Chains A and B, each alone.
Chain A
């Protein structure tokens, strides 16, 4: 019997004309059907998932490994999986499924588990079939459905059925190119919404792009409200209900032993006169003393742990740190609010998406002398007054009191807050390029450098690290007298200084020296491949880089060629490079700025013009000629 169904379904899909013949593996279908039942005031929610995939060749048999995640809010039941082999018209069932956990670098302990199995007998032409039921235990988590996924899908469908006393909300994203068909029908008091999309191309992540949710066509459905005995009860009708739910979780925060926390707050701030100074001291204390360790355990993933316990243990996740900041700041008289926020990975606003899908992070908002300051305890190096880079542009939900909240947008931090200032002095000794350089880094430029230094340096030497990150001159540059200051001083700019000697850099031909002063060629590798890059380019933060480079003309030489001024200027990005000759030196001033967090696809050409112009400017050499 099953064979007949399979053959029938196959035929129905073969009807589509889209050509996926260059693919290795495609989904013939990915269907989800959510069934919402309500008995009295209890929801019974199940999601039936039905997937069918085809191996167009035998290259990527590793797709046979399947895993389905679940946690304490969901369970996976009735898994039925088999491989259909058209050539021999046989089905081979999956007969072994394991329940596994995974260790995650970001989350130390999570209640998430996976059902894992491997489809048998996959080879060219094989069609795998997977059907299962996911029981959703909490009506706040209906999740989202992606019409597109990493490989093409011939038929993608989400349907949701619900009784007449339940009302459903939905919102779709990135669907304008995928023609999603919507159908609604009501039979015997049960309404079904169905969204169908056919022949959806594959979506694979790209480097330097926003997260996949910014471009994959998908839909979020949620329960708005239900009626019971003539009365309406809201679940997630709008952001008010989401907040109400959050507020109910906040009520469950353990508030015992807060005296300990207050004591620390008092100690840190006792000699500080202004609110701003107090807030800064408390923020720095949490940055320095609470280590990031995340536990995601049921509702524990949503309810901050008690501030006293976080203080004792000296670790916590974002919401634990936020709650500790909240207690400390308010205790010393600073207006501060627990603040829910989605990082830049989540392209949603609270008004559009009144569900827990909207956010994944918690910070604190302090109001000091009418200034709104966002404090993210998880970012150990961000200066007081700046939000964490990955929350810029995002809507923040401030919990004012049990019933009141406020939505504020986290502003993009202007480029003058994240500045790299470079002063370079160059001497030429026997063809060797001798450089003495100082760098001052502020804002996100500093955060980024320290983070790379701590987490990407590994066991590499400082010289090797600088050679690969700053990439000054060439990769044979030798660094000496490396010094760094203010790693832990949040207020001051990070100071880096070092001396360089660069081999094979000065080009000497007959009586001429060809000298290129652009030993730092930042952005020179940033040209976008317009043909290959599919999605907008993401930039983590706006910044400025200002350089002053002084070349001492060696004795017996004089400058016979100095490049002219070059620049490219647009509101979002640009540069200027000028050269001046003064006494026995040539001074290059170079400034580069990027004021935007995103380069839209339609602006790729303009960005490339900027980069090409910059590369061209980097190519300009000075010529020194030996005096006759």
Chain B
């Protein structure tokens, strides 16, 4: 036995198609790299981030072999920079063998500290992420360079992806893709750099090199994590060529075959009988609502490795399912009710942009069910959502739609109702005791995603969460407010009526909202609309503009002018900012406020809306002026003067 192993080893090592990783190494005598003064002021700077993905075929069979090498050199300048890079986690997902792991530090004095490999720890079965090897970088001080180099052999999947951008600047990022005579595809997102064909040890390869990759920064109205420069690739077994269509068809047959029932499961039929018991003359929409409410209050979506969580009999008995398995429950119920549905496979747009033109399983993350006759979605594993529009974190991403006959198409996931999410708010203001305090009586209606979120927070959060939420719903930003009454309606998550508004009725009083100024009083009327975020921009905007979801606000503020006083300084209440469509000239987003004086009443009306979810990055300043208009209004104050 031992002898055989030896022979095998000999054979492999004399293989003339030797893998590139074997000759790839870090430099024997490392030197500190020079950095600019600006770079010195950053917490950390990537000097090199290099990924090598190498596919080959073993000598004995046509099986694919895949090796991945990761090589990084990172300069750390301060405590935070050290903290960002001194802990290394190497995922063992799909890893067959760890070929080698090494790491070293050069400090500013040139001293080199090599990682003691005994200090590499194994951590297995971490949450949903699988196994890891982890280690802490040794000998790192401020102004050191950390170098990490490791190679793993993977279970050869036909695809993969790698992100080449971080939240710190990288001076050189490289992706080297070695496939030799195997057919392959590769694509890079969000970079203008091009792949170059190179030959590595005589094997056909592609190299992408990007210099000065900027740090991806957190921005408002953006999906920075999903916008990083990324490479995706596919490599096919020897002599094969697989088209994107073939991949998609495979997914469709696979998923469809598992989810779409030919006939309803008998236990599911029993559930349906119960759900529909004593219910007559229901519309299809009402039936779907009943099913959705039933699932969300009787089933739990579980994240673990239990394979039975996608077995329909097990699911119906245990009322527990995986995010995949729960689709079968809906599919069975809808089959039983004769309701037409389509399965949708997509991804969270904040983490991954779904690309119909390049298949990789990474982006098949989230499942929805689309009801074409109703033009509505069901979100099976989202406890906070009920039949309606797609969840906001998916809105705008592409999805793969599969119908009951295994036909499929790709479509952007959009809202069918553009006015889905609205806030209607009326506020009546009176002053007490000679401007000692103001009383604000508010009535608010929240629909769409607002309503969904409000219900979810109230029903699912803990006491602290509910407390903060009450503050948010009753004049947030008025520091000394006293909530005199507070009442919510339609807060139950299970609602039969489509997009029923979530209602808040409240009365609050505040002293601080009025400022004394001699014998006059300044009333901070702007605070009535609540704290408004300000969109800052010092650096150039990086990310395309994406809203959380399209929405509209309609506010009416009615204020009684106390007898014996006049009101001044009303001009600041007139604001008109908009962003118009280049093609139609229509306002796509706007903030408009104006006032009217009627006898002893001041009536201010505000309308703010964002009809589209995406805005042109080149017109960012216009967009920003609309967003910030609300923040401008928030600063408005008016003066009451004795006559």
Contact of A561 among B89, B216, B517, B539 (CB under 8 A): B517
Q: Does A616 contact B (CB under 8 A)?
A: yes
Q: Which residue of chain A has its CB nearest to the CB of B493?
A: A59
Verify A507–B79 contact, CB threshold 8 A: no
Q: Is A8 an interface residue (CB 8 A)?
A: no
Asked whether any CB of chain B lies closer than 8 Å to the CB of A211, the reply is: no
Q: Are the C-beta atoms of A475 and B631 separated by less than 8 Å? A: yes
Chain A 111-125, CB within 8 Å of chain B: the 1/0 string?
000001111111110
A91 to chain B, nearest CB (A): 12
Nearest chain-B residue to A487 (Cβ)? B78
C-beta contact mask, A519-531 vs B, less than 8 Å → 1, else 0? 0010011010100
Closest to A109 in B: B121
Decide yes or no whether A623 CB sits under 8 A from chain B. Answer: yes
Q: Taking the complex as formed, is A404 at the interface, i.e. its CB lies under 8 A from any CB of chain B?
A: no
A16 at the interface (CB under 8 A from B): no
Q: Which residues of B contact A467 (CB under 8 A)?
A: 534, 536
Q: Evaluate contact between A621 and B515: CB separation under 8 angstroms.
A: yes
- Binary CB contact string for chain B from 182 to 219 against chain A (1 if under 8 A, 0 otherwise): 00000000000000000000000000000000011110
Contact A206 B302 (CB under 8 A): no
Give the shortest distance, in Å, between B283 (CB) and chain A (any CB). 24
Checking B83, B305, B462, B632 against A98 with a beta-carbon cut-off of 8 angstroms, the contacting residue is: B305
Does B126 interact with chain A (Cβ within 8 Å)? Answer: yes
| Residues A58 and B298 in contact, CB atoms below 8 Å apart | yes
With both chains docked as a complex, state the minimum distance between the C-beta of B69 and any C-beta of chain A, in angstroms. Answer: 24
Decide if B569 touches A509 in the complex (CB within 8 Å): yes
Q: How far is the CA of A116 from the CA of B126 in the complex (A)?
A: 12
Contacting residues, chain A, for B302 (C-beta < 8 A): 65, 118
Are A615 and B480 in contact, CB atoms less than 8 angstroms apart?
yes
Interface size on A, residues (CB 8 A): 81
- Which of A336-344, A457-465, A587-595 sits within the interface? A457-465
Partner of A291, one of B82, B217, B467: B82
Task: Give Cα distance in the complex from A108 to B88, angstroms.
Answer: 10
Given A463-B538, A507-B637, check contact A458 B218 (CB 8 Å). Answer: yes
Do A524 and B512 touch (CB < 8 A)?
yes
The yes or no answer to B489 lying at the interface (CB within 8 A) is no
A72 contacts partner chain B, Cβ-Cβ < 8 Å:
no
Who on chain A is nearest to B319 by CB?
Answer: A121
Closest to B470 in A: A532
Q: Which A residues between 426 and 464 are near B, CB-CB below 8 angstroms?
A: 454-455, 458-461, 463-464
| Cβ–Cβ < 8 Å partners of B512 in chain A | 524, 615-616, 618-619
Q: Flag whether B568 is at the interface (Cβ < 8 A).
A: yes
> Across the interface, do A615 and B479 meet the contact criterion of CB distance under 8 Å?
yes
Q: Are B318 and A121 in contact (CB-based, < 8 A)?
A: yes
Question: Are A619's CB and B515's CB within 8 A?
Answer: yes
Least Cβ distance of B635 to chain A in Å? 4
Asked, given contacts A103-B127, A313-B138, whether A507 binds B460 with beta carbons under 8 Å apart, the answer is no
Contacts of A120 in B (CB 8 A): 300, 317-320
- In the complex the two chains form, what is the Cα distance from A536 to B150 in whole Å? 51
**Residues of chain B in range 277-329 having any CB-CB distance to chain A below 8 Å:** 296-298, 300, 302, 304-306, 308, 317-320
Q: Point out the residues of chain A lying under 8 angstroms from B306, CB to CB.
A: 96, 98
**Which residues 278-312 of A sit at the B interface, judged by CB distance below 8 A?**
288-289, 291-293, 312
Say whether, besides A475-B534, A476-B632, A620-B516, A101 and B86 are in contact (CB < 8 Å).
Answer: no
B153 at the interface (CB under 8 A from A): no
Is B263 part of the contact surface with A, judged by Cβ < 8 Å?
no
Closest to B494 in A: A58
Q: Which residues of B contact A124 (CB under 8 A)?
A: 297
Q: Do the beta carbons of B572 and A504 come within 8 Å of each other?
A: yes
Q: Does B414 reach chain A (CB closer than 8 Å)?
A: no
The smallest C-beta distance from B340 to any residue of chain A, in angstroms, reads 28
Q: Are the C-beta atoms of A291 and B140 separated by less than 8 Å? A: yes
From A123, A315, A464, A503, B86 is in contact (CB under 8 Å) with A315
B141:A314 contact, CB within 8 angstroms:
yes
With A459-B215, A507-B639, A525-B479 as contacts: A291 and B86 at CB distance below 8 Å = yes
Contact A204 B463 (CB under 8 A): yes
Answer whether A207 and B86 are a contact pair too, CB < 8 Å, given A467-B536, A560-B518: no
* Chain A residue at smallest Cβ distance from B129: A103
Residues of A within 8 A of B142 (CB): 288
Q: Is the CB of A454 within 8 A of B79?
A: yes
In the complex, chain A residues 560-603 whose Cβ is within 8 Å of any chain B Cβ: 560-561, 563
> Known: A96-B308, A109-B121. Is A315-B138 also a contact (CB below 8 A)?
yes
Q: Is B230 an interface residue (CB 8 A)?
A: no
Whether, in the assembled complex, B344 has its beta carbon less than 8 Å from a beta carbon of chain A, the answer is no
- Say yes or no: is B136 at the interface (Cβ < 8 Å to chain A): yes
Q: Is B113 an interface residue (CB 8 A)?
A: yes
Contact of A260 with B by CB under 8 A: no
Contact indicator B298/A103 (Cβ below 8 Å): no
A620 and B628 alpha carbons, distance in the complex (Å): 27
- Among A61, A64, A65, A292, the most chain B Cβ lie within 10 Å of the Cβ of A61
Closest A residue by C-beta to B315: A120
A182: interface (CB < 8 Å): no
Given contact pairs A59-B460, A96-B308, A507 touches B569 in the complex (Cβ within 8 A): yes
- The interface centre, meaning the residue of A103, A206, A458, A525 with most chain B CB atoms within 10 A of its CB, is A103
Query: Any chain B CB within 8 A of the CB of A100?
Result: yes
Chain B 313-357 residues near chain A, CB threshold 8 A: 317-320
Instruction: Check if A476 sits within 8 Å of B300, measured CB to CB.
Output: no
Knowing A61-B383, A96-B304, A101-B124 are in contact, say whether A619-B319 is a contact too (CB < 8 A). Answer: no
* Residue A60 is within 8 A (CB to CB) of chain B in the complex: yes
A610-627 interface bits toward B, Cβ cutoff 8 Å, 1 = contact, 0 = none: 011001101111010000
CA distance A509 to B79 in the complex (A): 51
Q: A464–B631 contact, CB under 8 A?
A: no
Q: Name the distance in Å between A306's Cβ and chain B's nearest Cβ.
A: 13
Q: Which of A96, A206, A612, A623 has most chain B Cβ within 10 Å? A: A96
Query: How far is the CB of B625 from the nearest CB of chain A, in Å?
Result: 12
Considering only residues 584-643 of chain B, those with a C-beta below 8 Å from chain A are: 628, 631-632, 634-637, 639, 641
- The answer to whether A207 and B464 have CB atoms under 8 Å apart is yes
Q: Say yes or no: B138 contacts A314, CB within 8 Å.
A: yes
The reply on A516 being an interface residue by CB < 8 A is yes
Contacts A96-B304, A100-B127, A459-B217; is A123 near B298 (CB within 8 Å)?
yes
Name the distance in Å between A65's Cβ and chain B's nearest Cβ: 8
Quick check: is A205 within 8 A (CB to CB) of the other chain? Answer: yes
When chains A and B are docked, how far (Å) is the Cα of A516 from the Cα of B536?
A: 24
Instruction: Give complex CA distance A620, B493 in Å.
Output: 46
Q: Which residues of A contact B522 (CB under 8 A)?
A: 507, 514, 621
- Complex Cα spacing A124 to B641, Å: 59
Whether the Cβ atoms of A100 and B297 lie closer than 8 Å is no
Is B96 among interface residues, defined by CB-CB distance under 8 A? no
Q: Which chain A residue has the least Cβ–Cβ distance from B628? A: A476
Query: B517, A101: Cβ atoms under 8 Å?
Result: no
Is B167's CB within 8 Å of the partner chain A? yes
Give A211 Cβ to nearest chain B Cβ, in Å: 14
Contact of A92 with B317 in the complex, beta carbons under 8 Å: yes
Q: Give the Cβ gap from B606 to chain A, nearest Cβ, in Å.
A: 17
* B34: Cβ under 8 A from any A Cβ: no
Contact A291 B319 (CB under 8 A): no
How distant is B148 from chain A, measured CB to nearest CB, in Å? Answer: 16
B634 neighbours in A (Cβ, 8 Å)? 474
Q: Which A residues are within 8 Å of any B CB, using their own CB?
A: 58-62, 64-65, 92, 95-96, 98-103, 108-109, 116-124, 150, 202, 204-207, 288-289, 291-293, 312-315, 380, 454-455, 458-461, 463-464, 467, 474-476, 503-505, 507, 509-510, 514, 516, 521, 524-525, 527, 529, 532, 560-561, 563, 611-612, 615-616, 618-621, 623
Q: List 14 interface pairs A-B (beta carbons < 8 Å), by A numbering.
A: A59-B459, A96-B304, A102-B126, A103-B127, A120-B300, A293-B86, A315-B136, A464-B536, A504-B572, A507-B569, A509-B520, A521-B479, A524-B512, A621-B516
- 6 A-B pairs besides A476-B632, A619-B515 with CB distance below 8 A are A59-B459, A64-B300, A117-B304, A123-B297, A463-B536, A563-B516
Closest 9 CB pairs of A and B: A58-B297, A120-B318, A459-B217, A121-B319, A504-B635, A96-B306, A313-B138, A561-B518, A461-B538
